[in-house]
Structure 1
Amino acid sequence: MSNLRDRYLQDSINTASPAKLLMMLYDRLVLDLMQGEEALRGGDRESANNRIGHAQEIVMELHASLKLDAWDGAPGLANLYSFMLTELIGANVKQDADRVAGCRKLVEPLRDAWREAALAPA
């Protein structure tokens, strides 16, 4: 059963538009941040490390794929990604759930804005 789910997920990723992929990344980032924060608050260091580490990977991917010359806001977004990465590393090292929550509060409006843009009629 797990193999079927993995295959479905991989097929979904392979056939998704760039806008859909971006929405998927942001959705997963928010989920990782929520779960990482909850794990820290619950004292589950291993789970927190896994979720926050995965969130860091997503932020690095978002930063690496950002085209700085595509629009005027791109450099600011790149700076925000760098800030979040620093915060997540610090949160993981210091086991600081509030820093993770702060990153989530930055990401959620971005996720919502990208979703709205992706779903808007062309």
Structure 2
Amino acid sequence: MTMYGIDARRADYAREAILNASPARLLTMLYDRLILDLQRAEIAQDIEDWDSASKHLLHAQDILAELTSSLKVDEWDGADALLGVYTFATKALIFANIHRDVESTRVCITLLEPLRQTWHEAAAQAPDTAAPIVERAVGGTLGVA
């Protein structure tokens, strides 16, 4: 099988996983990818691979934009605080990219990793009720960039 065939099969699998995922699972998938992008950006910044760092930082910003746009601030008491976290992280990633500042990337990892863990715990503890809670909080319209 050619490399293209493997990549196409992998893309099909990922697309199916996204299309069939519950809102809770979509949210955890977004957070997983967000942290992965930040970790990859941090590594790239450490070795001064600025093109790669920028690519990962921009993708992380896209995910934060999706999380921000799907957050329903009028339907969830904690939404304003979470919106503030997303806004801060987005600005920090822009700064990290423009100024090639690995510390800003690390701050975002430190800030967002506990949120990733919390959403995973919420989804695992209450699989039947987590989806409506997540859907109410984020609007159930999440997409993966």
Report the TM-score, using the length of structure 1 for normalisation: 0.97
* Correspondence for 1:44 among 49, 60, 64: 49
**Rg (Cα) greater in structure:** 2
Q: Cα RMSD (Å) of the superposition?
A: 0.7
- The higher-RCO structure (CA 8 Å, 6+ apart) is 2
Asked if 1:66 corresponds to 2:94, the answer is no
Tell me, in whole angstroms, the C-alpha distance in 2 between the residues paired with 1:35 and 1:27. Answer: 12
Corresponding residue for 2:87?
A: 82
Secondary structure of the residue aligned to 1:43 is coil
Unaligned runs of 5+ in 1: none
Pick one of 81, 95, 100 that aligns with 2:100.
95
State the alpha-carbon separation in 2 of the partners of residues 4 and 36 from structure 1. Answer: 26
For 1:4 and 1:44, locate their aligned partners in 2 and report how far apart those are by CA, in whole Å: 29
CA distance in 2, matches of 1:86, 1:11: 32
**1:24-66 alpha-carbon deviations (Å, 9 max, x no partner):** 0000000000010110110100000000000000000000010
Structure 2 unaligned residues grouped into runs of 5+:
1-5, 130-145
Q: Which runs of 4+ in 1 moved over 3 A?
A: none
